[in-house]
Structure 1
Amino acid sequence: MASPSVIAHRGYAGIAPENTVGAAVAAANRDETAMLEIDVQPAACGTPVVIHDERLDGSRDGRPLTDASGLVWETDLEVLQSARVLGTDETVPTLAELLDAVPETIGVNVELKNPGTTELRFAESLPSADRDERRGVWTPFVDRVVEVCDAFDGEILFSSFCEGALAAVRQRAPEYAAATLVWDDLEAGLEIARRYDCEAIHPPRNAIRGTGLATTSYDDLPDDEPAIDIVAEAHADGRTVNVWTVTNWHQFADVAEAGVDGIIAEYPGLEGVSSRR
């Protein structure tokens, strides 16, 4: 069985200030890294910036996410670009700055996190009557993101928990690969992937049936054995399965043995440890 590709979660957020240029460059320079995973949202001017939380004043293990405050999409670009991340000298970059800094030999999974609204239809398979409206909500931001990505010659994979984002990507830039991010509804995730003919599907680590992780709690997700074998279903459809987010070597080994194609990892080096167990 081939080893899964390693995807650096926010640039290996376990060892570096997440979603920053420094983290991305360091992750890209590691031999095992096949792809970076980053999150994008708009600044007040619409420029795509790389940050996960919708607010600048979030925290990580008690440490402020940045030294700024407020909603990302209501904040001037200049303020974002000077906001220090997790008490380091790294700041919130634009998507263009980050892509300019990494080699085009590395792939980049651009997660479309938010188009600039608190009204998200998160991890939901939309009824047909709502799809055009939600695509319209996302289209202006997706246009900006695609314009930036068009200047990058490396591999780009767009992903999102929001169906409207995937619909906008398929309409605006069908030449790019897309992936649906799955939360607690595996059936809905498969349905969305099929609706937009996504190349990949990204389930959480405890959604992989037959592993020890499948009955463990993770991020408030269900801890029952999954009713759907999402790896088998996705592979039968010809889709890649990239699982999120793995934090240690035995988690890596469990999902690798289940046959996933990619593992979104918080730390580097987990593949080497798991192979020696």
Structure 2
Amino acid sequence: MIVCPNCNHKNPDGASQCEACFTPLPTTTNCPNCGATVQTDATFCGQCGVNLKPSAPIEETDPPTEGVPVPTQVSGIPDLVNPEPLVELEPILINAEVPMPDSDPNLPATIISQSTPLEEEETSMPLSPVSAPPPPSALPTPISVPPVPISAPPTPTPRSAAFSGTILQTQSASLLHLQTNANIELPSNLSVIHIGKPNDRIPPDIDVSGFPNSDIVSRIHADIRVEGDAYYIEDVGSANGTYINHTPLASGNRHKLRPGDRISLGKGDLVTFLFQSS
């Protein structure tokens, strides 16, 4: 039977959701070492303490190749040949003496001035007359601007007076031992909190060996899992069981804790805690 962690309804083995409230039920499996029933997401077996999630082997990568093959030249392709120019360029003579055609060879050669386009453009541009500077009397009179007074820098406001926002508080939870009225704060840096007594396999985060009637509590008794702001408790194979509000919690199932829930470790309600959250 699988007990629903939401409404405590007993469902048949193999059910995936609760028949009463349709809450998804946690899946279970068997420990490969001792065969005990544990949740599929459990890290350690509550019965024998074996690690259920061994680390994956590190895959060895092949060493990098020492060299890269040099591409060879493809045969059969002729080398490129630079073509010869089709037209031979003749130099342009500037300010050279060129004889005029059909002229008398006894007369001196006529000089033809061949100027570049840049020289022709410069010679064709008209020159603009340079204007004389205006007399001093024609200049505008400068306007005097009064100096702007510099104010003193503002006095810094104390941080305590300037900041009055709301300070966020992190959620904390604790277990109140009803027999001795002792309050135990749950560690805020752990995602799985082990409850039990000192042992060689899984040291407890909450040690109950100093409380009265602790002999009914197993060394590896229960775990409290923290998921976001929610706290879940599960029995990890204790000998005398775990009870939530006087109802036995089946091994492998978990219960979402709410403020005021009564947690009894073992039978007879001899070691009892009250879950508190703030």
Whether these two folds match at TM > 0.5 is no
Please, what TM-score do these two structures have when normalized by structure 2?
Answer: 0.24
- Structure richer in helix, relative to its length: 1
Whichever of the two has the greater Rg, that structure is 2
Please, what TM-score do these two structures have when normalized by structure 1?
Answer: 0.24
Structure ranking higher on relative contact order (CA contacts 8 Å, 6+ apart): 1
